[in-house]
Chains A and B, each alone.
Chain A
Amino acid sequence: MQIYLPIADLPVDIFLVLAMGLAVGFISGMFGIGGGFLMTPLLIFVGISPAVAVASVASHIAASSCSGMISYWRRRAVDLSLGLMLLAGGILGTAVGVWLFTVLRSLGQLDLTIGVSYVALLTTVGGLMISESVRAILREQQGKPATPRRGGAHTWVHGLPLKMRFKRSKIYVSAIPVWLIGFVIGFVGAVMGIGGGFLLVPMLIYFLRVPTATVIGTSMVLTLVTMASATVMHAATNHLVDAVLALILMVGGVIGAQFGARAGQNMRGERLRLLLGALVLAVGLRFAFQLIVQPDDLYSIRVLGDE
């Protein structure tokens, strides 16, 4: 069944979009990530312009992370004070990101920037996650604990001033790296239309030593607020959020996420990270392939000044 999208100005198959929402929602629920890095390319693939795709996906991620966050909140697995500190950086990062998005769009280099950033980010993060989880699995097979104890380990991060105590996560760190991480995630999310969950979770674990128990719930707080504000900012500055498209994606996404979360709970942590790493790397390589191999069509047209 075709439905005409009022902002994207083209008809799409409602069931196809719903299925995409479900599939991406399943993955996002399983791994505790937003799934924007999968959704944005899928939407571009069905013919929606990259700008509308990025702007509309933000609201889809907000919906699925809201649904996830509420579940984690009930299990008391959300560190609200850490989440709010990350947010302080995140909102600034989102504002700068939306501004850069608008500038790049007027320069016509949006596709390239999104393409190159995707490749760099996804291959790096995917590769790191794979190597980390493979090492964990190997350690486990040798009979050692899967994750080495990090309790006493201190890095330069812990030497920074402005220290704060986050009770629920049981950590005592400087606010500066927390703000910085928030800024990076907000910025990347606004420019690339991704929630940044797959970046934030490893960053919180490796830089701030946030325990596994609270990391996903806390990252969802940040994802929720940055993506909700990205939706508002994209709508106010670019007028490119397609509410109809967003609603279809949301409905599919939140349902898929619930089933994904159940599937994820039956898997071992390292295996889950390995799978996610492989997925992230695969998407990154696909983009790399697209940039390196000669495209089928060298020419492209875009309407100027009708926004």
Chain B
Amino acid sequence: MMKHLIIAAALLAVSIAGTTPASAERLVTSISRHQVLVNSSFAGTSIVLFGTVEPDTPTARRRAAAYDLVVTVTGPKQTIVERRKERMLGIWTNMASRTFVNVPSYLAVLSNQPFNQITNADTVRQLQLGIDSFMLPQQLGNDIGDVGRDDPFRANFIRLKTEHQLYVQRTNGVTMLTPTVFRAEIPLPAEAPIGNYDVEVKVFADSAMLTRANSAFEIVKVGFEQFVATAARDYGLLYGFTTAMMALMTGWFASVVFRRD
């Protein structure tokens, strides 16, 4: 009996400790579009995320410290091979290679200020705040794991992704409209792959994470683009015959139009 009471007391203590921060916050977010449609005029776009951090109970006192926000957007997972050219017999050719297993094809990390000002280094690493701390697992022999951020393959992988605007990091990407309402713009380049994108918003105050919220959107091909892509994938042979016929018709048409005799 006594034992049970102790356990109950302990549980109570834990649950109180869990909610002790003078006020628990509730994070409400909304994104401007849940579906990005790729048609023939698609040249990239952006999605706007709005959110508000509000006390869980109306009576709760507003926290004294300002809120900090980190928005992490990850695109569909891809396995990507990175190769490095080396000189062999006077010719520059691909020699060493690394395989990044199930890494996001698209990654955007937006925040309202630099990560090291939001929280301490340990938390930055643990919560994968920012591209440098993000897990990019590589195939290492039979194991899969991430290597240090100073690894040249990892650094150049991020550089190449960043050059294509597929990896984005903006420490001024979240704007605080009021101390509790924020806005972030997620830039999507034309090369952003088709698929599902996850959006995770984390709220910090006093170096600690208070809460987080997830939402998602998807990029889909529509209309003619979707028709062509599906046809090429599912009906390769028929698609090939159609393209070849199209070539013959174009050639025949030109020879008729430009006929001189």
Binding site for B on A (CB under 8 A): 2-4, 6-7, 9-11, 59-60, 62-71, 74, 108-109, 111-112, 116, 224, 227-229, 231-237, 239-244, 246-247, 250-251, 254-255, 257-258, 291-295, 297-306
What residue in chain A is nearest B101 (Cβ atoms)? A304
Distance from B260 Cβ to chain A, minimum over Cβ atoms (Å): 9
Distance from A69 Cβ to chain B, minimum over Cβ atoms (Å): 8
What residue in chain B is nearest A262 (Cβ atoms)? B260
- Residue pair B250, A7 in contact (C-beta under 8 Å): no
The answer to the question of B33 belonging to the interface, with a C-beta cut-off of 8 Å to chain A, is no
SS class, residues of chain A in contact with chain B = helix
CA distance A139 to B43 in the complex (A): 57
CA distance A300 to B84 in the complex (A): 7
Q: Evaluate whether A228 and B94 lie within 8 angstroms (CB atoms) in the complex, with A300-B82, A302-B81 already known.
A: no
Residue of B91, B224, B261 near A116 (CB, 8 A) is B91
The answer to the question of B251 belonging to the interface, with a C-beta cut-off of 8 Å to chain A, is yes
Tell which of A71, A111, A232, A234 has the most Cβ of chain B within 10 Å. A232
- Residue pair A247, B251 in contact (C-beta under 8 Å): no
- Residue pair A3, B40 in contact (C-beta under 8 Å): yes
* Contact flags B222-261 to A (C-beta < 8 A → 1, else 0): 0011101100110011011111101110111111001001
Add 7 more A-B contacts to A6-B228, A255-B254 (CB < 8 A): A62-B244, A63-B246, A224-B251, A229-B244, A239-B233, A301-B157, A304-B80
What residue in chain A is nearest B237 (Cβ atoms)? A236
CA distance A205 to B244 in the complex (A): 29
Q: Evaluate whether A108 and B81 lie within 8 angstroms (CB atoms) in the complex, with A243-B232, A292-B90 already known.
A: yes
CA distance A229 to B40 in the complex (A): 27
CA distance A38 to B95 in the complex (A): 27
B residues less than 8 Å from A235 (CB atoms): 232, 236-237, 239-240, 243
Total number of A-B contacts with CB less than 8 angstroms? 198
- Residue pair B247, A295 in contact (C-beta under 8 Å): no
Distance from A251 Cβ to chain B, minimum over Cβ atoms (Å): 6
27 contacts between A and B (CB under 8 A): A2-B41, A11-B42, A59-B243, A59-B244, A62-B248, A64-B251, A108-B81, A108-B97, A109-B93, A112-B94, A227-B247, A231-B244, A234-B240, A239-B232, A239-B236, A240-B232, A243-B228, A243-B242, A243-B243, A258-B254, A291-B93, A294-B92, A297-B160, A299-B84, A299-B153, A303-B80, A304-B79
- Residue pair B191, A250 in contact (C-beta under 8 Å): no
* Contact flags B192-205 to A (C-beta < 8 A → 1, else 0): 01100000000000
The answer to the question of B105 belonging to the interface, with a C-beta cut-off of 8 Å to chain A, is yes
Q: Evaluate whether A67 and B240 lie within 8 angstroms (CB atoms) in the complex, with A2-B41, A108-B81 already known.
A: no
Q: Evaluate whether A258 and B91 lie within 8 angstroms (CB atoms) in the complex, with A59-B246, A228-B248, A233-B240 already known.
A: no
Residue of B87, B156, B232 near A6 (CB, 8 A) is B232
- Residue pair A6, B224 in contact (C-beta under 8 Å): yes
A residues less than 8 Å from B228 (CB atoms): 6-7, 243-244
The 6 closest A-B pairs by CB, nearest first: A66-B251, A235-B240, A254-B254, A232-B240, A67-B251, A63-B247
Residue of B42, B233, B237, B247 near A59 (CB, 8 A) is B247
Residue of B38, B244, B250 near A232 (CB, 8 A) is B244
Residue of A7, A67, A303 near B232 (CB, 8 A) is A7
Tell which of A63, A69, A224, A236 has the most Cβ of chain B within 10 Å. A63
* Contact flags B12-47 to A (C-beta < 8 A → 1, else 0): 000000000000000000000000001111111000
The answer to the question of B113 belonging to the interface, with a C-beta cut-off of 8 Å to chain A, is no
What residue in chain B is nearest A302 (Cβ atoms)? B81
CA distance A6 to B232 in the complex (A): 9
What residue in chain B is nearest A233 (Cβ atoms)? B240
What residue in chain A is nearest B163 (Cβ atoms)? A297
The answer to the question of B180 belonging to the interface, with a C-beta cut-off of 8 Å to chain A, is no
- Residue pair B191, A66 in contact (C-beta under 8 Å): no
- Residue pair A67, B255 in contact (C-beta under 8 Å): yes
Distance from A214 Cβ to chain B, minimum over Cβ atoms (Å): 18
Distance from A123 Cβ to chain B, minimum over Cβ atoms (Å): 14
What residue in chain A is nearest B86 (Cβ atoms)? A298
Distance from B56 Cβ to chain A, minimum over Cβ atoms (Å): 43
Residue of B85, B193, B240, B258 near A236 (CB, 8 A) is B240
- Residue pair A299, B156 in contact (C-beta under 8 Å): yes
The answer to the question of B61 belonging to the interface, with a C-beta cut-off of 8 Å to chain A, is no
* Contact flags B63-89 to A (C-beta < 8 A → 1, else 0): 000000000000000111111111100
CA distance A294 to B86 in the complex (A): 9
- Residue pair B247, A60 in contact (C-beta under 8 Å): yes
Residue of A63, A257, A302 near B80 (CB, 8 A) is A302
What residue in chain B is nearest A4 (Cβ atoms)? B42
The answer to the question of B190 belonging to the interface, with a C-beta cut-off of 8 Å to chain A, is yes
- Residue pair B250, A250 in contact (C-beta under 8 Å): yes
CA distance A297 to B190 in the complex (A): 23
Q: Evaluate whether A250 and B80 lie within 8 angstroms (CB atoms) in the complex, with A241-B232, A298-B85 already known.
A: no
